[in-house]
């Protein structure tokens, strides 16, 4: 297979983990005889500094011409504490999602047996937890009408029936391929937008008789995720709720640095870690590259390269088993490996296999 990859490394730890993702993809391509080419493009604060736009036209074009985007992270502290900044790095990520029509963000929450002790939750609760959060990614408050005044500000949480239907369909399709249990997470006791979600889901449920559909308010869902994470198989929810719940989900796995995601829709799909740019760690070679590397596995699986994806996952598992881990997940007293060392260990494993 030939694959053209747009590489958007972004800010903070982005460039460091991006290199590891690219190296892993290249090792897989060499092993399996695929031809992968890369084109890098600017985004986030780096792009603001260079050309004044967090998602420049040239970057959009490179993404549109690619088969997939390998994205890392955006964000910079110089914008975080300046609410009056006119452009922000995060707008670049949102522009990319919108302009590529990436309405479905798939965020798997998995546990790794050898990292169970890293979860702040009790071992017996977390062991075996395995669910997918399908987050709607181009609607809701992130994109609704906004007003930002000194004395009043608002964001509008708007959803159309078509937007709700297409994301629920993605949820049902995942549920059918898994344990056939879909939980629609909303706040229908308060929000009109959520009542539309619930109405549409109730209409669609009979079309998927093999799937058990249930509904849960988001406050309750956030509690249930901690009390009984194994309850969930596929959850589907709006943009803002999905953003919040998936950070919570990363605690089940034990580290933010472990969770990959895929954003798909009408344009080029994007594969990215769920974590941010962790500016404090920039250049220190301590960031965990596994979320980025697992995003490569998701990329391969998207193109139906199952064996290739499986080998990436096997290599990641092997690195964890061998205690080749970045500091935040290292066992007590164990050697601490850097971003580079973990990535290259995985590359070597793939090459030797
Ligand atoms: C995420 C991030 C982004 C979001 C930020 C960086 C805009 O938190 O991908 O979850 O809120 O969607
Ligand atoms: Mn987030």
| Ligand 1 atom showing the smallest separation from residue 272 Cα | 9
Length, in residues, of the chain: 353
Q: Confirm whether 1-102+265-353 and 107-263 share one CATH topology.
A: yes
The 10s digit of each residue's pLDDT in 79-101 is 988 888 889 999 999 999 999 99
Rounded CA separation 54/42 (Å): 8
Is the model's pLDDT at 141 over the cut of 90? yes
Residue 90 Cβ inside 6 Å of ligand 1? The answer reads yes
Which residue lies with its CA nearest to atom 9 of ligand 1? Answer: 274
Any idea which ligand is nearest the CA of 10? Answer: 1
As annotated, the active-site residues are 142, 187, 219, 243, 247
Residue range 57-85: average pLDDT? 94
SS3 87: coil
Return the minimum-mean-pLDDT range out of 105-119, 184-198, 289-303: 105-119
Question: Under CATH, which number does the domain 107-263 receive?
Answer: 3.40.718.10
Q: How confident is the model at residue 317 (pLDDT cuts 50, 70, 90)?
A: very high
What is the atom index within ligand 1 of the atom nearest the CA of 73?
6
Ligand 1 in reach of 93 Cβ (< 6 A) = yes
- CA-nearest residue, atom 11 of ligand 1: 243
- The mean predicted confidence, pLDDT, of the chain is 96
Closest-CA residue, ligand 1 atom 7, reads: 90
The ligand 1 atom at the shortest distance from the C-alpha of residue 97 is 12
SS3 percent helix, strand, coil of the chain, rounded to 5, is: 50, 20, 30
Mutate-to-test residue for ligand 1 from 14, 55, 90, highest number of ligand atoms within 8 A of CB: 90
Q: Using CB atoms within 10 Å of the CB of residue 26, give its burial: 0 to 12 exposed, 13 to 18 middle, 19+ buried.
A: middle
Distance 30 CA to ligand 2 centre (A): 34
Is 11 near ligand 1, meaning CB less than 6 Å away? Answer: no
Residue 119 has pLDDT above 90, yes or no: no
pLDDT digits (tens, 9 = 90+) for 26-48: 999 999 999 999 999 999 999 99
Position 297 pLDDT exceeds 90: yes
According to the model, what pLDDT value does residue 11 have?
98
What does the pLDDT read at residue 332?
Answer: 84
Residue 336 pLDDT grade (very low, low, confident, very high; cuts 50, 70, 90) = confident
- Mind listing the pLDDT tens digit for each residue in 241-278? 999 999 999 889 888 899 999 999 999 999 999 999 99
Protein residue with least CA distance to atom 12, ligand 1:
243
Closest ligand 1 atom to 105 CA: 9
What's the pLDDT band for 56 if we cut at 50, 70, 90?
Answer: very high
The upper half-sphere exposure of residue 103, i.e. CA atoms within 13 Å in the direction of its Cβ, equals: 17
- Residue scoring higher pLDDT (1 or 118): 1
35 with 29: CB under 8 angstroms?
Answer: yes
Domain ranges of the chain: 1-102+265-353, 107-263
What backbone torsions phi and psi does residue 217 show, to the nearest 5 degrees? -70, 145
Q: Which of 290, 283, 272, 286 is nearest to 346 (CA)?
A: 290
| C-alpha 176: how far from chain center | 21
- 146 within 8 A of 229, measured Cβ to Cβ: no
pTM of structure: 0.95
Does the pLDDT of residue 118 top 90, yes or no?
no
CA angle, corner 19, sides to 15 and 20, nearest 5? 120
pLDDT, one tens digit per residue, over 151-182 is: 999 999 999 999 999 999 999 999 999 999 99
Q: Return the pLDDT at 76.
A: 95
What 8-state DSSP symbol labels residue 216? E
307 C-alpha to center of ligand 1: Å? 30
CA of 256 to the centre of ligand 1 (A): 13
Q: Is pLDDT above 90 for 333?
A: no
- What superfamily does domain 1-102+265-353 belong to in CATH? Isopropylmalate Dehydrogenase (3.40.718.10)
């Amino acid at each position: 297979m030939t694959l053209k990859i747009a590489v958007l490394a972004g800010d903070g730890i982005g460039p460091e983990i991006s290199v590891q993702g690219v190296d892993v993809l290249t090792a897989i391509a060499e092993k399996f005889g695929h031809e992968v080419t890369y084109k890098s493009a600017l985004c986030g604060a780096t792009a603001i500094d260079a050309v004044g736009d967090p998602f420049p036209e040239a970057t959009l074009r490179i993404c549109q011409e690619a088969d997939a985007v390998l994205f890392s992270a955006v964000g910079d502290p110089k914008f975080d504490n300046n609410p009056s900044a006119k452009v922000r790095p995060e707008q670049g990520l949102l522009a990319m999602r919108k302009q590529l029509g990436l309405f479905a963000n798939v965020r798997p929450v998995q546990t790794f047996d050898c990292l169970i002790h890293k979860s702040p939750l009790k071992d017996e609760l977390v062991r075996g937890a395995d669910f997918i959060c399908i987050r709607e990614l181009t609607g809701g408050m992130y994109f609704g009408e906004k007003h930002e005044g000194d004395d009043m500000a608002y964001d509008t949480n708007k959803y159309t029936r078509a937007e709700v239907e297409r994301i629920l369909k993605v949820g049902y399709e995942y549920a059918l391929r898994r344990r056939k249990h879909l939980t629609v997470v909303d706040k229908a006791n308060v929000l009109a937008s959520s009542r539309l979600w619930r109405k549409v889901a109730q209409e669609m449920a009979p079309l998927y008789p093999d799937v058990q559909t249930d509904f849960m308010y988001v406050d309750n869902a956030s509690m249930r995720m901690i009390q009984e994470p194994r309850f969930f198989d596929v959850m589907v929810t709006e943009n803002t709720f999905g953003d919040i719940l998936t950070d919570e989900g990363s605690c089940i796995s034990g580290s933010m640095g472990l969770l990959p995601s895929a954003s798909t829709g009408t344009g080029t799909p994007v594969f990215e870690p769920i974590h941010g740019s962790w500016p404090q760690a920039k250049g220190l070679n301590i960031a965990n590259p596994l979320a980025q590397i697992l995003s490569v596995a998701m990329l391969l699986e998207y193109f139906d390269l199952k064996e290739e994806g499986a080998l990436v996952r096997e290599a990641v598992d092997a690195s964890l088993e061998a205690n080749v881990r970045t500091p935040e997940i290292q066992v007590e007293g164990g050697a601490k490996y850097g971003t580079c060392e973990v990535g290259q260990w995985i590359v070597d494993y793939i090459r030797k296999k």
